[in-house]
A and B are shown apart, each in its own frame.
Chain A
């Protein structure tokens, strides 16, 4: 026998400090514990909290690197504005004067163009208070054009069953197998991914399906490179494999599913050949992966945020239940999009059914927004004349778009200057998360309260200050009662009120938020609605059953989409979500210095045919725009796909080297992609 004693970690700082503050990282939604070392009200060092069960002292690059950002030379500290894009920004006397000017301009636009001419975009990094208060303002104002990249959970209606993560990420360690679909955890959430790797070291099978060969896929025991937007079809194909090979738990199916027989028979018509073709793999691949997973089980199915908008998304919960994994502590479904509970922030505004125009849509939201902002066509009537944007959530979308003469007002609430600022009329300085109080939810459903650690620079304010101040100028003070006469808001009181607006979070006692700041206590929002007693999907239903997702035929492309795909045969995938600060440094052979333009990953076969080499400047030509990029030739992408960290709502593109033409490139690409 081996009496194994792990190496003893020796944490701490070498730097001088007056005090320490234990808090939680808000760079992403994993919820790592941090210890901040403070000297003279400055953060001198940040280390992981060894007591936190999620990160146990470890930190990713983002958690280590946020402190220099607080003092970035690009930091905004004063309100500034200008009348037109041709003018330079002028400092505005103070925050209140800035809000006066903003309200005045908004009033004019509303009178001329109506309420729907306002578009609001919320960067998740602006805080839950910014987003929830923006929802209230949008409902009072009368616009449904409010966008937040991960907005679904908060806006879910009471009668919809939320998808909830089953267990915490640290419990992945006990799984016998893990299926990761559409998520590059090694890059976006490395601290969570360590638990998957630990499970693998203990014998679990790690299966990864994604559109690119990612760092996560590099660690997989079995990998499936799938076509873009085919995630749900993969789920249905695996469900079909489980049904055909008796991997399903008949007990779970009978006890948990409504109309189980009808559901089963819906898969009779699903052709595995067709599904495999739609996914871009072989039937043998599907069967092999299915056998690996279902024989090894119980396991976890971990799905990425982008899958949540695909038709048939519910197949992942259906699959986890049908194979009996949800009955076991080692198994279940862990949707990365669903750590937030449903909260109805607008019930008292006179428009209780208010919802964002983008909530629940299965269309490409980026395309919808592009149509709204660029052409004013499509779902937008009348066109957008004013934009209030926070942070960088529309980075690639708005850069260049803001400077349109027919756009009368772009206001930017941001801690740092970026491309969006260049196309704005007004800039309001925002505090960053260590500089404000705030509530947030982790992927594990934990409710966390982050206390302000340091003071924000200059006139920087939190999101609730911004919306409360603006609402007051429209006479809506009564809907924002958390503000004092100086315009400073009580985010703690607002957060407690907000929790009370959710069927799963209401009724917490006084002092609950303080408990959520304790690094050694971990509160998950309830899996049971406080009033109705309805149980959620992943928990054993007490008498209730869930509607399983039936087999669906892959949606056919419209003639217009088909024609566009033929004319622009490469698929541009983009995601701005990455572990961040050091990602460019690891993108060997390029470094940040080489990045005059966004990096574009191109497969060697495609690149060779088009005579493109790494570092070449290339043009990315879509039906609506031509954008310059720097090529990075890599097998991380398949021949028919290119990848960038910024996009503008188009997916069908052609790329070509500067100095060549789109027609030449098209002729070559058609040969290559056949």
Chain B
């Protein structure tokens, strides 16, 4: 499964390629450290599915899940203080100076993404590493991901990269140079 999460304006997206995920939780730790979150708060989670019995075999897969930065975010519509906001580049974030930790956004979110940070009494959710992105850096989760299951960039570029890698996987001789799977 591949899906692009992020900006509807096509500026930048976080690409999640679940088949590449090995469930190491590097993304979760990187996010926690980047945003000084307590150990029990996970703004990006790796959901382990399985092991499930498939005939005589067992199967297990991993799905990194974080905020989808929706086009029309229910969390923003319901936030009573206006703390939850969407930037022009599509990143949905909570302004912690205004957030009162009422959890209305958590109830409104169909994916259950916002959680309470018990250390601050305010909401914790993926903010797209907006402060890093503003400085031209990759989000911490994507930068540290060991396998490249998470990657980041302009939508068209990320999708192109995905297609080219798949083409080269099928026919390696197509390439004119050594590639690195990002």
Contacts and interface: CB of A to CB of B under 8 A. Distances in A.
B47 interface: yes
A223 B58 contact: yes
Contact of A4 (B62, B151, B176): B176
A1 B175 CA distance: 6
Contacts of A62: 29
Interface stretch (B67-75, B79-87, B97-105, B128-136): B128-136
A491 B43 CA distance: 41
Interface string A2-31: 111011111111100000000000000000
B50 interface: yes
A585 B24 contact: no
Given A68-B33, A215-B60, A593-B40, A2 B167 contact: yes
Interface stretch (A184-192, A238-246, A610-618): A184-192
A635 interface: yes
A202 B138 CA distance: 26
Given A4-B179, A10-B138, A585 B25 contact: yes
A198 B147 CA distance: 8
Contact of A1 (B59, B144, B176, B180): B176
Interface stretch (B3-11, B106-114, B157-165): B157-165
Contacts of A187: 23-24
B28 A61 contact: yes
B29 A215 contact: no
Contacts of A47: 143-144
A586 B25 contact: yes
A218 B182 CA distance: 22
A14 B164 contact: no
A634 interface: yes
B180 A6 contact: yes
A2 B175 contact: yes
Contacts of B53: 635
A581 interface: yes
Most buried by B among A3, A9, A67, A223: A9
Contacts of B177: 3-4
Contact of A9 (B46, B61, B182): B182
A186 B172 contact: no
B168 interface: yes
Contacts of A58: 26, 143-146
A357 B107 CA distance: 60
B144 A64 contact: yes
A586 B48 contact: yes
A306 interface: no
A581 B28 CA distance: 10
A37 to B, nearest CB: 12
Contacts of B181: 6, 198, 201
Contact of B29 (A7, A13, A61, A193): A61
Contacts of B58: 213, 217, 223, 635
Interface in A40-67: 46-48, 55-62, 64-65, 67
Contact of A14 (B23, B45, B135): B135
A186 B40 contact: no
Nearest to A11: B143
B24 A186 contact: yes
Nearest to B22: A186
A582 interface: yes
A58 B20 CA distance: 14
B55 interface: no
Contacts of A48: 143-144
Contacts of B1: none
A426 interface: no
B42 interface: yes
Interface in A186-223: 186-187, 190-191, 193-194, 197-198, 201-202, 213, 215-219, 223
Nearest to A188: B24
Interface string A323-347: 0000000000000000000000000
Interface residues of A, number: 58
Contacts of A218: 22-23, 50-51, 59-62
A217 B53 CA distance: 14
A591 interface: yes
Contact residues on B (Cβ < 8 Å of other chain), bracket? 35 or more
A61 B26 CA distance: 4
Interface in B13-52: 20, 22-26, 28-30, 32-33, 39-40, 42, 45-48, 50-52
A4 B164 contact: yes
Given A68-B33, A213-B51, A591-B40, A12 B172 contact: no
Given A2-B168, A585-B28, A10 B136 contact: yes
B96 interface: no
A579 interface: yes
B35 to A, nearest CB: 11
B134 to A, nearest CB: 8
A175 interface: no
A96 B50 CA distance: 54
B182 A67 contact: no
B34 to A, nearest CB: 8
A530 interface: no
A65 B47 contact: no
B168 A4 contact: yes
B135 A190 contact: no
A227 B154 CA distance: 49
Contact of B39 (A197, A198, A592): A592
Most buried by A among B30, B32, B45, B158: B30
Contacts of B23: 186-187, 215, 218, 586
A593 B172 CA distance: 48
Contacts of B60: 213, 215, 217-218, 636
A55 B50 CA distance: 28
Contacts of B59: 218
B40 A191 contact: no
Most buried by B among A6, A187, A190, A634: A6
A553 interface: no
Given A7-B157, A190-B24, A2 B145 contact: no
Contacts of B28: 61, 582, 585-586
A83 B61 CA distance: 53
B137 interface: yes
A444 B137 CA distance: 31
Contacts of B48: 215, 586, 588
A651 B165 CA distance: 47
A362 interface: no
A305 B121 CA distance: 44
B24 A197 contact: no
A13 B131 CA distance: 10
Contacts of A223: 57-58
Contacts of A186: 22-24
A127 to B, nearest CB: 23
Contacts of A636: 51, 60
20 contacts: A2-B167, A2-B174, A6-B182, A14-B131, A14-B135, A56-B180, A61-B25, A61-B28, A64-B30, A64-B33, A65-B29, A201-B169, A201-B181, A215-B23, A218-B60, A218-B61, A581-B29, A582-B32, A586-B48, A593-B40
Given A4-B168, A7-B161, A582-B26, 18 more contacts: A6-B182, A7-B182, A8-B153, A9-B138, A9-B182, A10-B137, A12-B135, A14-B135, A58-B145, A64-B33, A186-B24, A197-B22, A215-B22, A216-B22, A218-B22, A218-B50, A219-B22, A588-B47
The 4 A-B residue pairs whose C-beta atoms are closest, nearest first, are A61-B29, A582-B25, A190-B24, A218-B60
